[in-house]
A and B are shown apart, each in its own frame.
Chain A
Amino acid sequence: MRTFLATFLVVIAGSLILWVSTDEGRAFTAEEARRLEIRETPRPVPDWHLQNQDAETFRIQDWHGHFIVVDFIYTSCPDVCLILSGNLKTLQKDFSTEEKSDKLRFLSISFDPEKDTPQRLKEHLSHFSADFRYWMAARPINPSQKKAILDFFKVIVIPDEYGGYTHSAGYHIINPDGKLVAIFGIEQTAELHTYLNQVLKEKENVSKS
């Protein structure tokens, strides 16, 4: 009887713990967890100072009132970042009408600030024929700030065996109020597209009324 009771308690408590620690069975990996967390509790983005491709200081606050799509890159990246930025290029083309450009911005943040000088950031953008007015590449100005930014977005960067990096790849959406509201994986470009269409339309309606 006591065994039955003890087993029963262990199984119930254990199942509860497993249930809670997977967000009710919805997130099994750290990547899923960070996406879910942001969707449920958007967080205000601190006003960091970054250095952009023209070696000017840029603050996230400068783009207040716009939707911002943020991706993380390093310019010597041979694979994932190219896909990330390639998709941004497509997005920039698709949302190019002046009206929309006024509401949407793209920001590529480098997590390799030692190597990614403004010159290299500029080259990176040029590869994707970026329109510099709406798409900026920038680097953190010191290591502690780099850490703060990566921690805020929960982007994990680890060195790989070829002297480069492997990193969480995704599109991070900051809304006009300066809150991080959604994260899309590199494989979710269709969803990202739909999402942007929807929120930009909503924004348009709000500003008209």
Chain B
Amino acid sequence: MYPKAKQAWLLLAALVILALPPMQRFLEQSMVMHMLVQIPALVIIGWITGKILPENWKDNIAPWNRWGITGIALAIIIMTYWMLPRVQDAAISEWPVELTKFITVPIMGMALGISWPQLNPIAQGVLKLEFWATFMRLGWLYLDLPDRLCANYLLSDQRVFGQLLLLAGSIWAVAWTLRIMFGIRIVNT
């Protein structure tokens, strides 16, 4: 039990550090940091929290979440919500929205962490492909769009974000290809 309790404190500490106003300002001043550092960090905090939940909590959740379906549905909804540009803008200017982000994004990570391993391998494959396609589509969109989507970020920032999404998607694709064709496991995807 002891290591779990210690992990829980570490996670809480990480969440508090991310929520400190100077840290918030630092991570939210650019789109890239906001989307590729702050949000993934919140997801990871949630994911690990899901792993170390007490066993009896997990047992209580399980009948409501067979094959991980409910959790994945919840995660997809939360993800879609935070992909709306106006919500990201609102998170910067209105604190209730920011608070919602700090609660729902870790919940999304938790739902993913609990549900993903239970999910049917075919559903996993479909979702992975869909996530990957979203990276590529959005990356292309951000590179190509002549207007800013977020009122709080510069167009140049949006372009860099687009490039990074495409880069991440490409690396992911290469890793898959290597694994499928040659059985090389670079990353565990």
Contact = CB atoms under 8 A, between A and B. Distances in A.
B69 A7 contact: yes
Contact of A29 (B65, B69, B85): B85
Contacts of A21: 81, 84, 86-87
Interface string A20-54: 01100001111111000000000000000000000
Given A3-B66, A3-B70, A11-B73, A158 B85 contact: no
Nearest to A157: B151
Interface string B72-95: 011001101100111101100100
A29 B80 contact: no
Interface residues of B, number: 29
Contacts of B48: none
Contact of B64 (A6, A29, A158): A6
Interface stretch (A57-65, A98-106, A160-168, A188-196): A160-168
A53 to B, nearest CB: 28
A67 B179 CA distance: 65
Interface string B11-36: 00000000000000000000000000
A161 B154 CA distance: 9
B81 A17 contact: yes
Contacts of A6: 64-65, 70
A10 B111 CA distance: 12
Contacts of A17: 77, 81
Contacts of B70: 3, 6-7, 10
Given A18-B77, A29-B150, A3 B86 contact: no
Contacts of B66: 2-3
Contact of B156 (A15, A33, A161): A161
A149 B64 CA distance: 50
A156 interface: yes
A168 to B, nearest CB: 6
A21 B73 CA distance: 18
B80 A18 contact: yes
| Contact size range, A | 20 to 34
Nearest to A185: B147
A156 B84 contact: no
B132 interface: no
A28 B84 contact: yes
A3 B84 contact: no
B154 A156 contact: no
Taking chain B's interface residues, is the majority helix, strand, or loop, or is none over half, making it mixed? helix
Contacts of A22: 84, 86
A14 interface: yes
A42 B131 CA distance: 40
A28 B85 contact: yes
Contact of B67 (A3, A15, A28, A166): A3
Contact of A31 (B64, B67, B84, B151): B151
Interface in B102-135: none
B63 to A, nearest CB: 5
B153 A158 contact: yes
B183 to A, nearest CB: 35
B152 interface: yes
Interface of A: 2-3, 5-7, 10-11, 14-15, 17-18, 21-22, 27-33, 156, 158, 160-161, 166, 168
20 contacts: A2-B63, A2-B64, A7-B69, A7-B73, A10-B73, A21-B81, A28-B85, A28-B86, A29-B85, A29-B89, A29-B151, A30-B150, A30-B151, A156-B89, A156-B93, A156-B151, A156-B152, A161-B156, A166-B148, A166-B155
Please give me the 8 A-B residue pairs with the lowest Cβ-Cβ distance, nearest first: A14-B77, A30-B89, A156-B151, A3-B66, A6-B70, A6-B64, A29-B85, A30-B86
